[in-house]
Structure 1
Amino acid sequence: MKQSLFTLEHTRQLTDDTYELVLSGDTSAITAPGQFVNIQLPGRFLRRPISICNWTDQALMLLVKVVGDGTRELVRCVPGTELDVLSGLGNGFDPARAGAHPVLAGGGIGIAPLYGLAQRMRDAGQAPTVALGFRSAKDAFYLEEFASLGCRLLIATEDGSLGTRGFVTDCIRNVPECDYVLCCGPLPMLKAVHSLPQLTDGQFSFEARMGCGFGACMGCSIPTRNGYKRVCKDGPILYKEEIVW
């Protein structure tokens, strides 16, 4: 974990409530896709944990969905704003365990860490299939970005306005050759993907309300087959075999 100041370089609106933020700063503490940062906002007691979408040596990219006053303030920050950031938090996905043809499954804002993951997997010679789920076509984002990586891209929308009508699990059933999943999204989606019989193994990114964000307060503990684990410190990535519902 490292505490440092990052400078907001630009903000781009992707949908009605989803934004891309690029910040410049020291990213040396970030070691794997799937980790997150914890951002201090002026006048707010608790930091806001945000999953890392992608990063370079000197820049950090975040996808932020507005869900309350804190995230609304964050996306309204003007370029040049300095933000106090804890970086390199949590563990990350381990692409080496995923084999040559895994499926990356994301729902809504949960697709954020999958972009940096997909890029690094492609660079390593892996060929992931990316399955993304949204409520409707107007809620979809980052499709061109994933396609530009050369990934096979499958889309599901609940209303059928784009891609397959249904859920991300319906997309995964169409690729029976994929038996390993790396997944991030809302809890009902994680549970549904976890239950698919074709997926013999996988890694799942969990969310929880956090106090400190680095394992001290124990406020984000959840039960696993190996006892209670802290989502912020021992997670957010958990392996399929250790998850209990």
Structure 2
Amino acid sequence: MKKHIIDFEIVENRPIHSLYSLLVMRPVNTTLPSVILPGQFVEVAVENSPGTFLRRPISVNNVDRENNTLWLLIRRAGKGTAAMMEKRPGEKLNLVMPLGNGFTMPESTQSALLVGGGVGVAPMLYFGHEMKRRGLTPEFLLGARSKADLLQLDEFEKIGPVHISTDDGSAGEPGIVTTNSVLSSHWDRIYCCGPLPMMKAVAREARRIGAECEVSLENMMACGLGACLCCVEPTVKGNVCVCTEGPVFNINQLTWQD
């Protein structure tokens, strides 16, 4: 897939939590690439930020073709992301995109559960929108520490049914997502992104119920092009770069054990 290097102008910087902001951006003097797959990511250059030399990999949160805008959900994790969260409307960011592969779209007869924990909810929003655009009805399982930590809940509810797990029981079912009762239902396909222990637990549950399962790995991806080898992941076919062979993998490709 062709890669693009594009300058984007910030249209809106919307704080949605003390640790998260939503950047809504529009490409400068052009349109968004014609193909952006749910599950793909971008590499963002953070200029004028001392000590931030490498681009930052960020999942595509949403693509709004009508308004020619790209959404990125940013979590404050270090100097680079902190600098991005301080950007104001009118300021610019340079992106390399789209990178990696995407989720496999389910067939019209297949049921699908999209599971996200923390910032791992980001790619599930765009995936859900694309499924709905194709006449499918995805369901979501979102996990967070508390009700206050749930991200973009109103946006997910516009797409399909939302199931919730919170560690403190302040919303939805108490506990982590892998104990949510919805996982005991029949699902043809399960998709997941979030902390590694969560994804491994979801993968075990998917195997138990016989569902196909894809996960989006969050290995450190410094270049996004397979050159730096920071993101290597062991698979059943040997070591691969997550940024080029992933970030989305069928769990049968991974060396995770039951």
Tell me, yes or no, whether TM beats 0.5: yes
Unaligned 5+ residue runs, structure 1?
A: none
Question: What is the deviation of 1:201?
Answer: 1.2
DSSP 3-state at the match of 2:37: coil
DSSP 3-state at the match of 2:61: strand
Unaligned 5+ residue runs, structure 2?
A: none
Distance 1:199-1:15 versus aligned 2 partners, 3 A rule: farther
**d(CA) in 2 for partners of 1:172 and 1:243?**
26
Distance 1:174-1:236 versus aligned 2 partners, 3 A rule: closer
TM-score (norm 2): 0.90
Q: Is 1:52 aligned with 2:60?
A: yes
DSSP 3-state at the match of 1:233: helix
Deviates more, 1:99-108 or 1:151-160: 99-108
1:69 to 76, 79, 97: 79
The percentage of aligned residue pairs carrying the same residue is: 35
Distance 1:99-1:202 versus aligned 2 partners, 3 A rule: farther
Name the counterpart of 1:133.
Answer: 143
2:43 to 15, 29, 38: 38
Q: Deviations over 1:127-180 (max 9, x none)?
A: 21100000111111211111112x111000011111100111222545512142
Q: Is 1:158 aligned with 2:159?
A: no
Question: What is the deviation of 1:99?
Answer: 5.0
Deviates more, 1:172-181 or 1:50-59: 172-181
Deviates more, 1:91-100 or 1:66-75: 91-100
Name the counterpart of 2:219.
Answer: 208
Name the counterpart of 2:180.
Answer: 171
Name the counterpart of 2:193.
Answer: 184
TM-score (norm 1): 0.94
One-letter identity of the residue aligned with 2:26: S
Q: Deviations over 1:19-55 (max 9, x none)?
A: 1110101420642111001000114210011000011
Whether contact under 8 Å (1:41, 1:83) holds in the other structure is yes
Q: Is 1:108 aligned with 2:118?
A: yes
Distance 1:211-1:141 versus aligned 2 partners, 3 A rule: closer
1:120 to 130, 133, 140: 130
DSSP 3-state at the match of 2:106: helix
**d(CA) in 1 for partners of 2:97 and 2:210?**
32
**d(CA) in 2 for partners of 1:230 and 1:98?**
31
Question: What is the deviation of 1:72?
Answer: 0.8
